[in-house]
Amino acid sequence: MTSIRRIQAVFMKDYRDLLKNAYMLSTAIVPLFFAFMLNQEGEIETTAAFLPIILSMVIVGSFIQAGVIAEEKEKNTLRGLLLSPLNTTEIFIGKSLLSTVLSIMMIVAVIFIGNISMPDQTLLAAAATLISLAVFISLGTIVGLVSRTVMETSVIGIPVLFIFGMGEIIQTMIESELVIDVMGYLPDQQYGQLLLNLREGQAVGEPFFVLSMWVVVSVGLTILIYKKRRFD
């Protein structure tokens, strides 16, 4: 049975640790600078319009989440957490809650700062954002579990930033149509396409389905790695 009190205790511990970590705090505000630089005076008709939101999910959702997990390992407290009375659900929710809250706050901030034109279908856009955020937080958890220190998450996490956060930019540098088509199924591309379709009144079934599959795969992989670490 999931305990709200236990989840809250994990969240408050992560919150206090974050306030003491200048590296992660400085990382968390990076999306604001992108929003300032990419301020949109007019409506952009490509998925690049939502790049600041995607970067918020990658940088805050993935990197901060990875840092939170890796810091537990660096301080040798993760083993105690894995062997504690907390069940898997409580640990996952508790360790992801801070990254989720920070990501949502940052997403709202970059939308206003970057003057991003969002779809009128607010509920669908919010659902797509939460689904995508779940993917990036899962990826961040995986990076944190395989990293030994907080600083190591930056080295391992750089591919996550480039592949999952800057797919729109990378595609402009690639000539292979096959690679471009494959990259189109990455979560950042599907999220941007979904919002663009919503804004233009087009169907969103396929991107929603692809994002849902990304959630299943990323969460499933996270649980497998978590169980392996717990066994070790």
pLDDT of residue 15: 82
The DSSP 8-state label assigned to residue 76 in this structure reads T
pLDDT in tens, 14-28: 888 877 877 777 777
The angle subtended at Cα 57 by Cα 55 and Cα 10, nearest 5°, is 145
Q: Which secondary structure element, helix H or strand E, spans residue 53, and what is its range?
A: helix 51-56
Q: Determine the average pLDDT of the residues in 218-227.
A: 87
Tokens encoding 31: 């999306």
Indicate whether 77 pLDDT > 80: no
Cα–Cα distance measured from residue 118 to residue 53, given in angstroms and rounded to the nearest whole number: 11
Cα–Cα distance measured from residue 64 to residue 140, given in angstroms and rounded to the nearest whole number: 7
Ranges of each domain in the chain: 4-231
Whether 96 and 16 have beta carbons less than 8 Å apart is answered as: no
Indicate whether 218 pLDDT > 60: yes
pLDDT of residue 83: 67
Nearest CA among 66, 27, 58, 63 for reference residue 186 = 58
Q: Determine the average pLDDT of the residues in 169-182.
A: 72
CA 87 to chain centre: 23
Q: CA–CA distance from 98 to each of 13, 64, 137, 162, 201 (Å)?
A: 10, 9, 10, 23, 34
Q: Determine the average pLDDT of the residues in 78-93.
A: 72
Q: What does 196-224 look like in DSSP terms, one character per residue?
A: HHHHHT---HHHHHHHHHHHHHHHHHHHH
Whether 98 and 14 have beta carbons less than 8 Å apart is answered as: yes
Give percent of the chain with pLDDT exceeding 70: 86
Q: Which secondary structure element, helix H or strand E, spans residue 97, and what is its range?
A: helix 88-113
Nearest CA among 31, 29, 30, 22 for reference residue 71 = 22
Q: Which of 22-31, 145-154, 169-178, 200-209 has the highest mean pLDDT?
A: 200-209
Helix (H, G, I), strand (E, B) or coil at 118: coil
The single residue listed with the structure tokens 């940088």 is 59
Cα–Cα distance measured from residue 180 to residue 162, given in angstroms and rounded to the nearest whole number: 14
